Structure 1
Amino acid sequence: MGLSRALVSSLRWKKRSWKAMIRGRRKRRRGGDDWIAPEIPWEIEIEIEILLRLPAKSLMRFKCVSKLWSCLIHSRYFCNRYLTVASPPQPPNLYMSLVDQLEPARVIVGTRESVLLSLSSSSSTDGAEYLSPDLILAQLGGLHMVVIRGLIFYSVPTEPCSIYNPTTGQFITLAAINPKISAPKGFSKHYSFGYDPVLDQYKVVCTFLIASKKRKRITSSEHWVYTVEAGGSWKRIEFNGPAHCPARPGLCINGVIYYLASTCMSRDIVVSFDVRSEEFNMTQAPDDALPAYGKPVGVGFIEYGGKPAILDHTNLVPMGLVELWVLEDGGKWSKKSLVLKPCQMHLVANNMSLLVHGTTINGEVILAPISFFSPYYILYYDLQNNDLRKVEIRGIPDHWFSKPDMNVLMYLTQLDESESIIHLEI
């Protein structure tokens, strides 16, 4: 407490210097707006270094100390520095979202039951690892969750998409879109979330599409982008490629969103969207990775070594075989095959269908059973070391297991809470 009072006293004496630092200056250049921080007195630099080493949740509480302190913690300058020096590093939490999927005709917007669980790792008396919720948030969460710099983006069928910051508690819902295309029985939509490190901007991309009655042929698609900022709105962008349906949530790698998509043609594609320039590009998927339309369950789209990759785990359960295609520089694909160790085959011996839920910060692939049952477990597959481990999830509210299995939609993602200090000001 003595340290906090000393810092508050020092901040008040240097109020003008603090405000000058936080406001900063912007210099217009052809490439965009570049942040230029003013010169900071060395005494303030020392105090900033102390604050940078506090846990994120403590900083959120310290916003109440004064307006000055709150302004500093929420400044872009402080947030961007915090991402590089925050300590001590806390183990990332796994977030689990459960949504009660009802018939569309019976759903009223805002009445669908959902819950978001923050799961932390623990160990039992026999040394077995398991996950249990340390936070349960009702009416939050959804499908296709994407985490970027501590922000959770998710969408729910028939409802607008949302962004949630677990540390600050800030929650926003984006405005609805009125697409130009129309169909007698409506259309479907798919979202992607990305971040541009150059302009320090978050953007959401939405794809609307219309398919034939049998949903085997996509007839048309339309693309919109939303810049997450004060006064942000949706705008339509052109795409010169074929109409397509995103088959998986997008990945954002170094300012580029990648997603796997199905087209009306026989071959699938990987679509890339540059968050800064808002331009699309396409790369043909390897023929042997996606041999038939409608094979999304056994195929995942993940980040591997800082590059987008297609993971085919169709034969993991019966044969212990996994195949990985990595998109290398220049648009070429490299293939890697893995065979599960015999001593770990019992982990996948129940013939359960699995779905890929992305990767952890350490690069492990998250695999989870499609059916929702108790006790529920997930698998972590380390592709680098070809190692598989099974972790049980405990503490899920019991009434979720009493729902019809096909009604419960579930999604998992991992979040590093040291990153979620980022202030999302709308």
Structure 2
Amino acid sequence: MNSSSLISNNDLILEILSRLPSKSVTRFRCVSKLWASMLCSLYFKELFLTRSSAKPRLLFAIIENGDEDAEAGCGVWSFFSLPQLEYPYEQSPSTSLVVAAAEFHVRFSPDSLKINHYYNVRHCSCGYASGLFYIHGNRCQARPALICNPITGRYEILPERYTYRKAYSFFGFDPVEKQYKVLYMAYPYGPGRHRILTFGYGDMRWRKINCSLRHEVKSDGVCINGVLYYLGDASDSIHVSSDDVTLHYVIVCFDVRSEEFTFIEVERFCRLINYKGKLAVIYWEDDEDVYEICNGSKDLEKYLEENLEVDATNELHVWVLEDVEKQEWSRYAYTWTDDKFFRRHVSFAGATVLGEIVFSVRKYTPKQPFYVYYFNPERKTLQRVEIQGFGEAFKTSCSIRTFVNHVEDLNVNDLELLKSVHPPLEETDYEGNSDSE
């Protein structure tokens, strides 16, 4: 076979592989050194990103918390995904119901870590950055943190270190150096120092890092263009009053590459999302820090049931940070009434690349429909989408975290980063049937 035929055959192989899901591409890297080289080439990465398999997806992490005192069945995580709707209002009027099927990827609990999930960030941290997923649970359950590929099931457990039981940690990605980092922020009223770890090749170790502002963490983190953002409460450190309003909330901005902190003051409690590549804060008019009110109680559902009216006005505020240096915001407010939208049951999942704000039901209950909602700020319309495909493997209600814009970064070689492969759990499949004969 001459060299021109070989090149032609290789191009044909790459063309075929570019149309496969990323999970399959990862497997083909192991065929040979030649295939690994071809699939890590810039040409293939650009080709892959033009195919439908690389379009943004909704990622669902379903957590079976089980019995905290049990030796098994505690902290089992299952990952599903499906393509995000593109222009959902052109496919179907917002008054109708769209149905979509989720694809199952992996169900595991590596090394029996037993990481239960809590929506309170004081007890469980979850993070997503550039195709990888991060979990860090309560110290009483699991001191090690876990980074995994939610599609392939490959994972790595971070070096163990002492953490106070109210652990705060975040996951970020530097797109320039192609490095993932884990940031641990010590509880301001407990022992310990802030630490950071560069996740990657060679020995990983926790390094000390200093932050000039004492604050308590109030939200999960969101990483945008190499900067990690989260909400903090610095009321014990700063008191800036303006128009009889005391400003004590700050957005903590951590540059993943330089490892430097900066801060942006905000007027109130809010959530943070990536809105078309810019930081945005989002909140309801009557929003409040329910975790602080409940003081870490597991009775959050009861509180929401008793204190949030079903027919409450949905007045949504979105502030988009237009100029980081000048801290200038574009502010928008949207009000709509929709009887199929119950705020006490949903959480913010984020915004799609087209600017659709996505809400997701917070719990999955077997034999009951599960919904996500696409809100179009320009049209002020809400499209409900029923997600099917979770099956009946879950016998009780489960916590669920939904993430938008999942696309694996083929510029990152996760075969080098994630050296462990978890065998699939075999108790049940996702059609409600037993795998054993």
Relative distance call for 1:92 and 1:111 in structure 2 (3 A) is same
Equivalent position of 2:422 in the other structure: none
Q: Choose from 6, 9, 26 the match for 1:10.
A: 6
Relative distance call for 1:334 and 1:346 in structure 2 (3 A) is same
Is 1:270 the counterpart of 2:251? The answer is yes
Return the letter of the residue paired with 1:200: K
Equivalent position of 1:301 in the other structure: 272
Is 1:203 the counterpart of 2:181? The answer is yes
Partners of 1:6 and 1:65 lie apart in 2 by 22
CA contact (8 A) 1:168 1:421 kept: no
Equivalent position of 2:225 in the other structure: 254
2:206 alignment partner, SS class: strand
Equivalent position of 2:158 in the other structure: 174
Relative distance call for 1:357 and 1:127 in structure 2 (3 A) is closer
Equivalent position of 2:25 in the other structure: 59
CA contact (8 A) 1:208 1:222 kept: yes
- 1:53-132 equivalences under 5 Å are 53-57=18-22, 59-73=25-39, 75=40, 77-78=41-42, 82-83=45-46, 86-90=49-53, 91-101=55-65, 106=69, 111-120=74-83, 128-132=97-101
Q: Choose from 364, 375, 390 the match for 2:369.
A: 375
Partners of 1:111 and 1:402 lie apart in 2 by 13
Partners of 1:62 and 1:248 lie apart in 2 by 38
Relative distance call for 1:257 and 1:131 in structure 2 (3 A) is same
Equivalent position of 1:334 in the other structure: 329
Equivalent position of 2:260 in the other structure: 279
Q: Give, in angstroms, the shift of residue 176 of structure 1.
A: 1.8
CA contact (8 A) 2:45 2:410 kept: no
2:135 alignment partner, SS class: strand
Relative distance call for 1:178 and 1:83 in structure 2 (3 A) is farther
Equivalent position of 2:385 in the other structure: 391
2:59 alignment partner, SS class: strand
Q: Give, in angstroms, the shift of residue 273 of structure 1.
A: 1.0
Is 1:241 the counterpart of 2:241? The answer is no
* Structure 1 gap segments, 5+ residues each: 12-42, 180-185, 212-218, 291-298
Q: For 1:269-302, what per-residue CA distance to the aligned partner results, in whole angstroms no more than 9, with x for missing partners?
A: 11111111111112212x2x33xxxxxxxx4211
Return the letter of the residue paired with 1:208: A
Relative distance call for 1:274 and 1:107 in structure 2 (3 A) is farther
- Percent of counterpart pairs with the same letter? 22
CA contact (8 A) 1:315 1:322 kept: no
1:303 alignment partner, SS class: strand
Return the letter of the residue paired with 1:356: F
CA contact (8 A) 1:209 1:243 kept: no
CA contact (8 A) 1:204 1:225 kept: yes
* RMSD, matched Cα: 3.8
Is 1:422 the counterpart of 2:412? The answer is yes
Q: Give, in angstroms, the shift of residue 44 of structure 1.
A: 11
Q: Give, in angstroms, the shift of residue 115 of structure 1.
A: 2.0
Partners of 2:257 and 2:185 lie apart in 1 by 18
Relative distance call for 1:411 and 1:152 in structure 2 (3 A) is same
Partners of 1:133 and 1:45 lie apart in 2 by 33
2:50 alignment partner, SS class: coil
Is 1:187 the counterpart of 2:165? The answer is yes
Q: Give, in angstroms, the shift of residue 83 of structure 1.
A: 4.8
Partners of 1:409 and 1:49 lie apart in 2 by 39
Equivalent position of 2:132 in the other structure: 151
Relative distance call for 1:102 and 1:163 in structure 2 (3 A) is same
Relative distance call for 1:385 and 1:421 in structure 2 (3 A) is farther
Moved more, 87-96 or 49-58: 49-58
1:199 alignment partner, SS class: coil
CA contact (8 A) 1:133 1:396 kept: yes
Equivalent position of 2:429 in the other structure: none
Partners of 2:15 and 2:171 lie apart in 1 by 33
Q: Give, in angstroms, the shift of residue 307 of structure 1.
A: 2.0
In the comparison of the two structures, how many residue pairs are matched?
356
Q: Choose from 400, 414, 424 the match for 1:410.
A: 400
Q: Normalised by the size of structure 2, how large is the TM-score? A: 0.68
Higher Cα Rg, which structure: 1
2:194 alignment partner, SS class: strand
Q: Normalised by the size of structure 1, how large is the TM-score? A: 0.70
Q: For 1:204-260, what per-residue CA distance to the aligned partner results, in whole angstroms no more than 9, with x for missing partners?
A: 11222154xxxxxxx666321111112242333332433323222212122111111
